[in-house]
Amino acid sequence: MCGIVGYAGSEQAVPILMGGLAKLEYRGYDSAGVALQQDCGLTVIKSKGRLAELRRQLETAGDTRGTVGLGHTRWATHGEPSDLNAHPHLSQDARFAVVHNGIIENYIELKQMLLEKGYTFQSQTDTEVIVNLLAYYDTGDLLDTVLKVRNKLGGSYALGVLSAAAPGQIVAVRKDSPLIVGLCKSGALMASDIPALIAHTRDYYELSEREAAVLTKDGARFYNVNREPVSKTPYHVDWDIDAASLGGYEHFMMKEIMEQPRVLRDTISSKIHDGEVVFPDVSLTRAQVEAIDRLYIVACGSAAHAGMVGKHVIRRVAGLSAEVELASEFRYQEPLLTDRSLVVIISQSGETADSLAALRYAREKGAKTLAVVNVLGSSIARSAEHVIYTNAGPEIAVATTKAYSCQLAVMYLLAVYLGRALGRLSDEDNASLLKELQALPDKADALLGCKETMQYYAAQYYGAKDIFLIGRNLDYAAALEASLKLKEISYIHSEAYAAGELKHGPIALLERGTLVVALAATVSMADKLRSNILEVKARGAEVLALAQEGDEKIKTVADALFEVPRTPDIFTPSMTIIPMQFFAYYVAAMRGMDIDKPRNLAKSVTVE
């Protein structure tokens, strides 16, 4: 979703803003712009399209000097992608410039009020309402004015504000949309996410809900909701600059697929101590675990697919029944929550609006909340009572790969943790599961060698109109994720079905030569799945099966077979997903798609 960068300092702002925006491209955008404080007032340069177009405009714009400025990449919500709707927006009198991430839910009423006062609007955005409210409520003090306007806004916002009358200053404020502040030798920066700051600092401050910051070349001052100064402790990230750059790969997605053995090792090894699963930021007592009446796993997209795996594994290992809910639906299902319920929210970014709203809802209802999050200090991490971090490092490609794999690993660890706390997992079974779990990174490493094989299959099917995936139980959960990978980056229509459901309708879609990928790695499902493979073959489908090494019977039914390393059934999604990530990657590459930044998608979905 939208990306914000701001800089107030003593260096030229344009290169810093453009460098930061380039690091936020992964969030998804359709237009971009910058605003500069110049001697002549505020200057805005913006355009529809990619940053390359903005760069061209900057080159021909004449004087772009200025040491204080804001940059923005916009992912359209109110109004189509266009030059006019691009941010930053200027107030009618050109005294204020604003960049905004989020949605102002009461903007129609506010706009009406301004129209009645004689304001006119150039764009269809809610943001132009904010900037004109600043002009209308201007008190002469930038921070005061921003806070006054903030109190009128409903919905979500991360805002960066410049005023022609406040040279050297940026005011930032946020609610329900991420915003961080970093300090560097020449001044202060703000951004939607860490990669935009990493070239300048590895220490950053999170703005809390409705907090504000004033950035100048001398640093940053923070204010709470009542405008009282607050001192904040910075977070430190230990990634180096390479972690957020391509490092020789053509795409972040490929780099991130290849990083999976390492990040799985980091995630798993950091949570096993003396033969037991330990989560440092989880303080549930044994009595609280024993008292759990309902366990909900709530998430969106791939994180929900990891949750589906979690549901099966927690049931099998801990004997606890879990329900998986899409975060966007959770609140409307009227879930049965009590103070004994545990709601697990899974999110890579920790900023997904629906997941955050579901978490808050669960807290309001008195349930216990546990977040499984990748981004340290993110809104979801800060809002949950208990947190388990995935150690995937920065994930840039819109299509998640390594973060999903780490979420799976945390689901396995959580199942073992709950099984132990409930006394349902013997010492022997605990030791054996943890041994298998610790072996996963090496098996993932071995799977990286399948790259060329999956490239070969991709070459055969990249022209397909439809690709179906089938599986049962854990294989079905993995198939949903594999299908999403194909859809989002190759734009091939793909569906995943529980294999037993096919004959209840979807089998009508099969034509001669349609590719059906059968995930057949869970041994307990093998016999039944073979029958389903025969059913689709009888309708002319070509079947590529993924099964565990040594499954001889599958060879007799599949047209092609890819073997994954042997592992207990519960861990098989971690094995089958890696070849399917490669498959999706190569299919998309052969179709010439924008792999890291697929159309219409955003990395961090900060609107509901």
Residue nearest ligand M6R (C-beta atom): 301
Options 224-232, 271-279, 344-352, 533-541: segment touching ligand M6R (CB under 6 A): 344-352
Q: Per CB under 6 A, does 398 bind ligand M6R?
A: yes
Q: Per CB under 6 A, does 532 bind ligand M6R?
A: no
Percentage helix, strand, coil for the chain under 3-state DSSP, each rounded to 5: 40, 25, 35
Q: Per CB under 6 A, does 383 bind ligand M6R?
A: no
Q: How many residues does the chain have?
A: 608
Distance CA 541, CA 506 (A): 13
DSSP character for 207?
P
Instruction: Decide: 338 and 344 in contact? Cβ < 8 Å.
Output: no
Candidates 399, 409, 413, 437: give the one binding ligand M6R (CB under 6 A).
399
The nearer residue to ligand M6R, 348 or 494, going by C-beta atoms, is 348
Reading across the β-sheet that carries 170-175, which strands appear in turn? 89-90, 96-101, 157-163, 170-175, 212-216, 219-223, 229-230
Instruction: Decide: 197 and 182 in contact? Cβ < 8 Å.
Output: yes
Q: Per CB under 6 A, does 349 bind ligand M6R?
A: yes
Q: Per CB under 6 A, does 176 bind ligand M6R?
A: no
Options 123-131, 240-248, 342-350, 453-461: segment touching ligand M6R (CB under 6 A): 342-350
Options 330-338, 397-405, 445-453, 546-554: segment touching ligand M6R (CB under 6 A): 397-405
DSSP character for 166?
S
Based on the number of CB atoms within 10 Å of its own CB, is 601 exposed (0-12), middle (13-18) or buried (19 or more)?
A: middle
Q: Per CB under 6 A, does 352 bind ligand M6R?
A: yes
Catalytic residue status for 603: yes
DSSP character for 339?
T
* Site size for ligand M6R (CB under 6 A): 16
Catalytic residue status for 450: no
Torsion sign across C-alpha atoms 385, 389, 393, 395:
negative
The nearer residue to ligand M6R, 488 or 596, going by C-beta atoms, is 488
**Interacting residues with ligand M6R between 269 and 328 (CB under 6 A):** 300-303
Q: Per CB under 6 A, does 348 bind ligand M6R?
A: yes
Q: Per CB under 6 A, does 605 bind ligand M6R?
A: yes
Q: Per CB under 6 A, does 355 bind ligand M6R?
A: yes
Closest CA to 167 of 58, 64, 36, 63: 36
The token duo for 559 is 């047209």
**Interacting residues with ligand M6R between 437 and 496 (CB under 6 A):** 484, 488
Distance CA 402, CA 392 (A): 6
The nearer residue to ligand M6R, 163 or 347, going by C-beta atoms, is 347
Q: Per CB under 6 A, does 177 bind ligand M6R?
A: no
Active site residues: 2, 603
Instruction: Give the binding site for ligand M6R (CB under 6 A).
Output: 300-303, 347-349, 352, 355, 398-400, 484, 488, 604-605
